[in-house]
Chain A
Amino acid sequence: MFLAILAGFLLAFAAPMLYRWLGKWVFVPMALLPFSIFVYLLTLAPAVLNGQNLGELQAWAPSLNINLHFFLDGLSLLFALLITGFGTLIMLYAGGYLKGHPLLGRFYLYLALFMTAMLGLVLAGNIISVFVFWELTSISSYLLIGFGHDKESSRSSALQALLVTGLGGLALMGGMILLGLAGESYTLSELLERGDLVRNHALYLPALVLLLLGAFTKSAQFPFHFWLPNAMAAPTPVSAYLHSATMVKAGVYLLARLTPVMGGTDEWQYTLMLVGGVTTVLGALLATQHTDLKAILAYTTISALGLLVTMTGIGTAPALEAMVVFLLAHALYKGTFFLVAGNVDHATGTRDLTQLSGLSGTMRYTATAALLAGMSMAGLLPFFGFIGKELLYEATLQESPFRWLLFAVSFFSGMVFVAVAIALGFGIFWQRSTRPTPLQHPDKPLLYLPPVILACTGLVFGLLPGFFVTPLLRRAAEAMLGVEQVFELALWHGFNLVLGLSLLTVLLGYVVYRYSNKLLSYASRFNGLYRLGPANLYQLGLNGFLTGATKITATIQNGYLRSYIAAIITAFIALVVLSLSRGGPRLELANRLPELTQLRLYEVVLLMMIIPALIFLFKSRSRLTSIAIMGIIGYSVALFYILFGAPDVAATQLLIETLTVVIFVLILHKLPAFTYLSHASERYKYVLLSLAFGAVMTYVILIVKQYPLDSQLKAYYGQSSYLLGQGRNIVNVILVDFRALDTLGEIVVLAVAAIGIMAMLKLRMQKGDKP
């Protein structure tokens, strides 16, 4: 499994090169990879179907208990087969759809990257690696939605998808960490057995909220559904793959995966049923308000995702059973429809439902695929969709306080699905039309084969549900329930209530289809509501965020050096005052006053030199005088060093002071006359700040000097400077012997400064500079 994922990433990054070598045949290796993983997974399937869970461990960050742990059970296998099988078809399809596109290589890079990330997500056995792959899918989805990056709309859609799912990803990370804390493990297989521990933990609720936020954003649940229709800006292969079959199901996968750990509580059930139910109805309702093929499909996808979430929320055995069956059925027919919509768009140049008609004559294969998918979506015999719908109805009609509400929700969406299926599978293709929409090019095999294969799979699964499908789905449901499942899928359940309801759905769906024009005319009345919708809130939030950030940056980064320094110093003073006021040491000056009597005359003289010098420095308006005064201060400080036993420091200070003055004088004549740049209003503020800073520094020194210096370094160097370093001047021995490397660093700093100075002095003026 590790190798499969590694190969996926390698191939992804090789894609642009392959495109250069192979040209339009690049789809061959790209499709071969998912296909071989698909076959590889099929070889593992017998073991999984026998009830084994396969694991594989690669140490990654063992100290943090994070491993590249792969884990394959029924649920992962279902998703992994879906991803790779679908992936193979999409890779082929993309080769035809984007044939001749200059950036096809890049497109394959993104697509393969996404596929591998998605595969990693469902195979990951460690919740931290689940998160990592989760984020990778968000990022690759961003790149894919924004593939047509020259269009403003696709850029903003891509950003919207990234922000919404990225926000969810952040929540997910928090949730995962809390879950790991609650379950005391980050390994999925261990967590799956600790459901009771987690559910009774204090962190359960926060973890649940965060995880649900992650799942809902990814799976486009209300109120985060708005990004999905916008994501249809992506090329159609992407919409079909990411936004109907795989990525948006990642949230559902997460919920399903965590059902044994987190599921079963009231919070879990009611949240999922409520959000899922609202999403189902809303998606179905909005689907009737559009005429763009991809928009209709997007909204029905949202509705279907809502149903999946609702079923997960109900959480009974029939509900979870229905969920896995419906998941597979939906992937098959919705994927087909997206590819069909792509074909129609490609061939006719429009996706508007009202402008398309009579295409069956010219696009026979696509039309056939659409018809088959439509029948599956409408839930007709003998398609797999029929089984899915039957089970959904059965599950909602189980004994529960909300049975009629839940049934109404699924019935409503079923009705809309029928209407959409008729419109898309029959209306635009097979309905007699006097003026069929003209084609720009005939149907191409690479474009019509994938949808036909998918649609046929739906038919085969429906006719032969016992073969492979049932065992697989059984294991998948088992992974969620934690107990052995024995359900059998059958096409024919006999004449019972559910069958009657299915027929009623189809009939009412046809009625909806007949009156769809009328429904469309209501669309404009909803415009007022859209203004209050989450999409608008998102826009408001985003704009506010940007303006806010701009304002804050403009305030903080105002470009004035002095305000930066003032801010730093203010913060410093505040911190010192704060720590002193919170029980810091107190200053006791009274008993130290006698020290003043030890003052010697030459010390007073030095003081008497520095203070007046400072006063003159402020008064002086001549640069030469200023420099001379700086010299006086520097020399006085050097004399202090001599008085207190630091002759080396004093010598250095004297030298440096002299050099500084010399450099100043050399440069001085190149400078302009000294002008006084006054800022009177601010001056008092800065005077106060400076005084406060000086006072704080004084206070700090006085406090520090109240306590004895506890340093063994002095004694150590006093002892060993001659015995170890063979030098009598301890300071020198420290610099050139004990800490020689530091001195080397100091020399390097000086050398760098010297090079900088040389560069500034010697560098010729470039064009545009003043001489």
Chain B
Amino acid sequence: MELILPFLIGILFSASLYLILHRHFFKLILGLILFGLATNLFLFVIGRLTRGGSAIIGPEEKVATEPFADPVPQALLLTAIVIGFGIQAFAIVLIKRVYQSFGTNDLDDMNTTDQIEEKH
């Protein structure tokens, strides 16, 4: 699995970047979400994988015993996922608002503020 996961992450990155490079706002958001997923997995794998043992100290013990998973990347991941969600939620509401205001979801129609002004 240690050999397979890097390829999976690479595929996820490729797919998400391709989505981000689309003109459509909706695809851009899908790409962003996927990019976040790939980044999280990337962090997780870079921090080494441990099968089984989670980062929890047993009820009888005072210190963790090997094998247990590295808690540091996990803590980072938790933060990253939550903040990623903040961005996603914001972006999703933004796409709706943009469509309401300007009647388009094509990023190429939004490349200058002046052009948007002209549409009114």
Contact = CB atoms under 8 A, between A and B. Distances in A.
A664 B105 CA distance: 15
Contact of A677 (B2, B23, B78, B87): B23
A660 B7 CA distance: 26
A644 B68 CA distance: 10
B93 A761 contact: yes
B89 A757 contact: yes
Nearest to A596: B3
Interface-central residue, B17, B87, B101, by most chain A CB under 10 Å: B17
Given A643-B51, A701-B46, A714-B71, A649 B90 contact: no
B27 to A, nearest CB: 8
B1 A689 contact: no
Interface stretch (A125-133, A252-260, A489-497, A556-564): A556-564
Contacts of A709: 47-48, 70
B89 A663 contact: yes
A592 interface: yes
A582 interface: no
Give the bracket for the number of chain A residues in contact with chain B: 35 or more
A469 interface: no
Contacts of A643: 51
Given A634-B37, A743-B79, A722 B18 contact: no
Contacts of B79: 735, 742-743, 746
Given A660-B89, A691-B14, A769 B101 contact: yes
Interface in B1-48: 1-15, 17-18, 20-24, 26, 28, 30, 33-34, 37-38, 40-42, 44-48
Interface stretch (A199-207, A305-313, A418-426, A610-618): A610-618
Contacts of A743: 79
Nearest to A727: B57
B13 A697 contact: yes
A691 B94 CA distance: 29
Interface string A192-229: 00000000000000000000000000000000000000
A503 interface: no
Given A634-B37, A760-B97, A765-B101, A641 B44 contact: yes
A758 to B, nearest CB: 9
Contacts of B108: 560, 677
A770 B101 contact: yes
Secondary structure call for the B interface: helix
B112 A652 contact: no
A679 B61 CA distance: 61
B118 to A, nearest CB: 12
Give the bracket for the number of chain B residues in contact with chain A: 35 or more
B111 A694 contact: no
A623 B56 CA distance: 40
Interface string A728-754: 111100110001001100100110111
B15 A690 contact: yes
Given A595-B3, A618-B15, A644 B101 contact: no
A645 B86 contact: no
Interface string A152-172: 000000000000000000000
A722 B21 contact: no
Given A645-B52, A760-B93, A734 B99 contact: no
B119 to A, nearest CB: 9
Contacts of A611: 8, 11
Contacts of A752: 86
A2 interface: no
Interface string A533-567: 00000000000000000000000001111100110
A560 B107 contact: yes
B77 to A, nearest CB: 5
A319 B45 CA distance: 78
A39 interface: no
A671 B95 contact: yes
A698 B94 CA distance: 32
Contacts of B28: 561
A400 to B, nearest CB: 66
A765 B87 CA distance: 23
Nearest to A603: B1
Given A558-B111, A559-B112, 7 more contacts: A641-B44, A653-B40, A693-B13, A694-B11, A749-B86, A754-B89, A768-B120
Closest 4 CB pairs of A and B: A559-B111, A694-B14, A698-B10, A645-B69
14 contacts: A560-B111, A599-B4, A645-B68, A649-B77, A656-B84, A689-B21, A698-B7, A705-B45, A718-B63, A722-B61, A729-B57, A734-B72, A746-B82, A768-B120
